[in-house]
């Protein structure tokens, strides 16, 4: 039991350490804080006591508190903020509190939210033609239960497409169709965990809403590998002893870099030497603008890499269509996990997508959308250069978002909050870091905004931040 009194920091967190227990103290402390977050008792944004103060209060060494905090940061429950304090992180509650605020989407007059395709451009007519053809042509027995891998027509159409466009080495027998990347990743981590995996490496920064929560649920520890302009630091990866690495080599999420060729080869060598699996998240590389295509890492090492693709950025996230190209030994176990999860993805959607691909409609859609997104990206870069010239863009060559590093006199959280108060939605990078962020930055999604709106949004942000005396008044900018 804690030695502290009822008004202590430990009592506020409801931490009671049992020194007679065999469970290490850092794990007891971690469990108490995790429970607090999951139950909503420690709501989003709550600042935790400084490690030194809490350690003194609990009568333990500071290392116990540091270790507990670090583990919870890795799991996504907590985040380290610049200034050295630790907060309950976004999205950490596994039991959502049913307040109206929790379910109401954020409303910003201009929202640079990232991770969205422009679904208003969904190719409805071509998709409808494919649905119609499939429904007209398939025999009734195709409506029965499927095996966990999905329909052969889609395996064939996708493997052709991926080998041609993404440089994979894919054969139909290595493919499993799943409900987006999210499910593909969950199935893989489940299979790896059942096979004895204990430690997963992720990029730092990286998405906080996929690997980290699943790993926490499965009891897998998560280690961050720092990302520079050319992708992850392979020397650090070498020291992780990870059983798997989740990687976005062709367009690092969120910073937008491309894994350098020698680093790609080094990752493949690391996986071969250690027997670890690389889970390649290839989420948006079809949209590339000023550079030659970067082939998938899977093409370099098909027995070490599980390639994961998704239609969420190219078509629409609501389709929930994703696919895995797997090393031979994982095909059976992942297909079984898929059956256990949901008995297979909907057959009509799979056959429709197969028809859409085989008839070249997917290529046509990408050809149509690429210049649309490119113009939006260019509008954003132009507006940043004009109104916020000391914001440094990065990761601009591909995808549907870019990052801007902030000048050193601006605090990221303050910028995000000021923007929100002025009706501009833009996210900060800090929440995606496992460790202390080296630098403040913003993520600008541009895929769903018209060019004039993008320009107006950046101009308004500059005005809100008081960065530019000569900003054109918003009214002088034509509405989109
Ligand atoms: C890094 C990353 N990978 C993959 C995805 C796609 O996930 P899903 O296919 O589950 O929609 C996203 C979506 O935002 C993402 O940000």
| Contacts (Cβ under 8 Å, ≥6 apart) of 167 | 293, 295, 296, 299
* Residue 22 burial (10 A CB sphere; 0-12, 13-18, 19+): exposed
pLDDT digits (tens, 9 = 90+) for 260-270: 989 999 999 99
Query: How much of the chain exceeds pLDDT 70, in percent?
Result: 92
Atom of ligand 1 nearest to the CA of 248: 1
Tell me the C-alpha distance between 443 and 411, whole Å. Answer: 14
> Domains, the chain, ranges and CATH?
9-88 (1.10.10.10), 110-118+364-476 (3.90.1150.10), 138-359 (3.40.640.10)
| Distance from the alpha carbon of residue 469 to the mean position of ligand 1, in angstroms | 39
> What is the per-residue pLDDT across 352-375, written as a single tens digit (0 to 9) for each?
999 999 999 999 999 999 999 999
The alpha-helical segments, DSSP class H, found in 40-61 are 51-58
- Convert the pLDDT of each residue in 24-76 to its tens digit: 898 889 888 887 887 777 888 888 888 998 998 889 999 999 988 887 877 67
Q: What are 250-293's pLDDT values in tens digits?
A: 999 999 999 998 999 999 999 999 999 999 999 998 998 877 77
pLDDT at 99 over 50: no
Of all protein residues, the one whose alpha carbon is nearest to atom 6 of ligand 1 is: 181
Ligand 1 atom with the shortest distance to the CA of 281:
3
Cβ 10 under 6 angstroms from ligand 1? no
Q: Is the pLDDT of residue 12 over 80?
A: no
pLDDT digits (tens, 9 = 90+) for 121-131: 999 999 999 99
Cα-to-centroid distance, 294 and ligand 1 (Å): 19
Predicted confidence band at 90 (pLDDT cuts at 50, 70, 90)? low
| Residue 440 neighbours by CB under 8 Å, 6+ apart | 82, 405, 406, 410, 411, 412, 415, 428, 429, 430
- pLDDT confidence band for 92 (50 / 70 / 90): low
pLDDT at 475 over 50: no
10 Å CB burial of residue 470 (0-12, 13-18, 19+) is: exposed
Query: 94: which 2 tokens?
Result: 């596994």
pLDDT in tens, 374-403: 999 999 999 999 999 999 999 999 999 999
Beta bridge partners of 441: 405
- pLDDT above 60: residue 479: no
Is the Cβ atom of 115 under 6 angstroms away from ligand 1? yes
């Amino acid at each position: 039991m804690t030695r502290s009194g009822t008004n202590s920091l430990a009592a506020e967190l409801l931490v009671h350490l049992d020194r007679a227990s065999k469970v290490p103290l850092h794990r007891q402390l971690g469990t108490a804080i995790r429970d607090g977050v999951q139950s909503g008792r420690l709501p989003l944004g709550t600042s935790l006591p400084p490690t030194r103060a809490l350690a003194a209060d609990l009568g333990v060494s500071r290392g116990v508190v540091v270790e507990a905090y670090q583990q919870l940061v890795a799991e996504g429950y907590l985040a380290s903020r610049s200034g050295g304090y630790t907060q309950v992180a976004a999205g950490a509650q596994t039991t959502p509190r049913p307040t109206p605020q929790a379910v109401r989407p954020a409303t910003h007059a201009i929202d640079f939210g990232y991770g969205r395709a422009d679904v208003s451009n969904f190719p409805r007519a071509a998709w409808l033609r494919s649905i119609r053809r499939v429904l007209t042509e398939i025999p009734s027995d195709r409506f029965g239960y499927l095996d966990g891998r999905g329909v052969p027509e889609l395996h064939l159409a996708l493997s052709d497409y991926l080998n041609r466009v993404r440089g994979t080495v894919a054969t139909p027998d290595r493919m499993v169709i799943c409900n987006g990347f999210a499910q593909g990743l969950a199935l893989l981590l489940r299979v790896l965990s059942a096979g004895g995996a204990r430690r997963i490496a992720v990029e730092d920064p990286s998405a906080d809403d996929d690997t980290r929560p699943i790993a926490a649920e499965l009891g897998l520890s998560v280690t961050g590998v720092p990302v520079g302009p050319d992708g992850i630091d392979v020397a650090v990866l070498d020291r992780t002893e990870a059983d798997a690495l989740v990687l976005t080599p062709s367009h690092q999420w969120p910073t937008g870099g491309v894994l350098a060729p020698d680093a790609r080869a080094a990752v493949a060598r690391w996986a071969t030497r250690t027997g670890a699996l690389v889970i390649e998240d290839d989420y948006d590389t079809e949209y590339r603008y000023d550079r030659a295509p970067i082939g998938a890492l899977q093409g370099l090492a098909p027995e070490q890499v599980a390639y994961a693709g998704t239609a969420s950025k190219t078509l629409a996230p609501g389709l929930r269509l994703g696919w895995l190209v797997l090393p031979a030994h994982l095909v059976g176990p992942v297909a079984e996990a898929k059956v256990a999860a949901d008995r297979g993805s909907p057959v009509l959607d799979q056959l429709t997508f197969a028809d859409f691909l085989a008839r070249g409609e997917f290529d046509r859609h990408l050809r149509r959308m690429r210049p649309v997104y490119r113009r939006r990206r260019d509008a954003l870069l132009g507006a940043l250069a004009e109104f916020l010239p000391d914001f440094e863009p990065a990761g601009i060559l591909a995808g549907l978002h870019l990052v801007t590093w902030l000048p050193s006199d601006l605090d990221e959280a303050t910028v995000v909050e000021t923007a929100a108060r002025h009706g501009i939605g833009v996210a900060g990078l800090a929440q995606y870091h496992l460790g202390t962020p080296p630098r403040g930055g913003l993520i600008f999604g541009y895929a769903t905004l018209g060019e004039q709106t993008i320009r107006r949004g950046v101009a308004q942000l500059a005005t809100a931040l008081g960065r530019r005396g000569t900003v054109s008044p918003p009214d002088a900018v034509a509405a989109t």
